A and B are shown apart, each in its own frame.
Chain A
Amino acid sequence: GAGVSQSPSNKVTEKGKDVELRCDPISGHTALYWYRQSLGQGLEFLIYFQGNSAPDKSGLPSDRFSAERTGGSVSTLTIQRTQQEDSAVYLCASSLKGGPRDGRGTQYFGPGTRLLVL
């Protein structure tokens, strides 16, 4: 079946502009994660959605970052007033919540959006 998809694959923007990154999770997956991969910080967790519960925003680096998930499916990560340090690959992952012991909970990753802030 279809995997996690992300768009755009590449985004170049000017410092100070807002950007929106989109993630389409695997159909039926209730959990959705955003991660950021950068040269300086490696792979780091940003935000987590699970069903109708309040999202876990503990990984967002500043209040310029926000995310929403509409209808329990598609998610959008928004970065306002982008800075050069926001340049990174933004990865989305989805899973069936419940822990990886019985096969659920394994996170499947999309190809990422490569963001470059000039």
Chain B
Amino acid sequence: AQSVTQLGSHVSVSEGALVLLRCNYSSSVPPYLFWYVQYPNQGLQLLLKYTSAATLVKGINGFEAEFKKSETSFHLTKPSAHMSDAAEYFCAVSEIFGNEKLTFGTGTRLTIIP
């Protein structure tokens, strides 16, 4: 079975500082990996996805993530945090075959300190 672990349920960074949100996955085969963002009282919006092409994936709003097979990690980064980045972030893994359902991590709430 696939699973995702997000270290740190809450992360606070200063405006302009580096954002690093951690995600580790467990899968018997290389999976597809996703980062979604959820703003208050809204649904999930896709930030970026890894589909076994380039290991460094660039997404919307200046975010990027790097797939590291040796570390089974897919950490999300942004060089300079903006106040609008405050939200909850979810890492997810899906099966390559079958119904492609998403298995989510528990989420990380990102707070930006002015």
Which residues of A come within 8 Å of B, CB atoms? 4, 31, 33, 35, 42-45, 48, 50, 56, 59, 91, 93, 95, 97, 99-101, 105-112
* Residue among B36, B43, B53 facing the most chain A CB atoms (10 A cut-off): B43
Q: Is B51 an interface position by the 8 A CB rule?
A: yes
B101 touches A45 (CB 8 A): yes
Q: Do most interface residues of chain A lie in helix, strand or loop, or is the interface mixed? A: strand
Give the shortest distance, in Å, between A87 (CB) and chain B (any CB): 16
Residues in B with CB closer than 8 Å to A106 are 46, 49
Nearest to A35 among chain B residues (CB) is B102
Residues in B with CB closer than 8 Å to A42 are 104-107
Task: Give CA–CA (A108, B36) in the complex, Å.
Answer: 10
Interface 9-residue window, one of B18-26, B65-73, B78-86, B92-100: B92-100
Task: Give CA–CA (A91, B90) in the complex, Å.
Answer: 14
Task: Give CA–CA (A42, B92) in the complex, Å.
Answer: 12
Which residues of B come within 8 Å of A, CB atoms? 32, 34, 36, 41-46, 49, 51-53, 90, 92, 94, 96, 99-107
Task: Give CA–CA (A110, B49) in the complex, Å.
Answer: 19
A91 touches B106 (CB 8 A): no
Task: Give CA–CA (A116, B25) in the complex, Å.
Answer: 32
Task: Give CA–CA (A106, B46) in the complex, Å.
Answer: 8
